[in-house]
Amino acid sequence: MAVAQSGDRVTIHYIGTLDNGTIFDSADEDNPLSFTIGQGEVFPALEAAITGMGVGNAKNVEISTDQAYGERIKDNIITVPADQFPTDRTPQVGEKVSVTFADDNEQVLGIIECKDGNITLDGNHPLAGHDLTFALELVSIVAKQTH
């Protein structure tokens, strides 16, 4: 039986959960995840877990915070006066906004608090600070083409 190795294009189905059981993402028959092992398209720890698996094999893979999105960084959270936002709408917690900084660097931040005339924005990835668990199945392998 062929097993997945570096350079192969693989397709997986998975359910991704947090430690508390919350599902953060999934890929099923209608929306599978395909990537090439070794190309950095997914976490290296996920690539390593799939390497050596055969089609139809399933396993649970735990990826620690430091191998996923990293720890939450306090410097990525800023509070700005609400009057810095357009007056034609009211900012809402959970909303994503694009912010252009003084150096012309543009970043998407999430609104995490609206209070006392201020808006608190978070530039951390929503899954930063979390260990991730993937219940996955390897669906297909397309072997690396050699010339």
For residue range 21-65, what is the model confidence (pLDDT) as tens digits? Answer: 999 999 999 999 999 999 999 999 999 999 999 999 999 999 999
pLDDT in the model for residue 100: 84
Taking the CA atoms of 44, 105, 125 and 64 in sequence, report the sign of the dihedral they define.
positive
Torsion angle, alpha carbons of 141, 31, 13, 2, to 10: -10
pLDDT in the model for residue 98: 87
For residue 130, count CB atoms less than 10 angstroms from its CB and return exposed for 0-12, middle for 13-18, buried for 19 or more.
buried
> What is the pLDDT confidence band of residue 107, given thresholds at 50, 70 and 90?
confident
Answer whether 0.85 is exceeded by the pTM: no
Judge if 22 and 59 occupy the same domain. Answer: yes
Q: What angle do CA 7, 10, 14 make, to 5 degrees?
A: 140
Q: Which domain holds residue 28?
A: 9-69+127-142
Residue 3 inside a domain? The answer is no
Q: Which two tokens stand for residue 131?
A: 């260990």
Residue 147 inside a domain? The answer is no
Secondary-structure percent of the chain, ordered helix, strand, coil, rounded to 5: 10, 40, 45
**pLDDT tops 90 at residue 19:** yes
Count of the separate structural domains present in the chain: 2
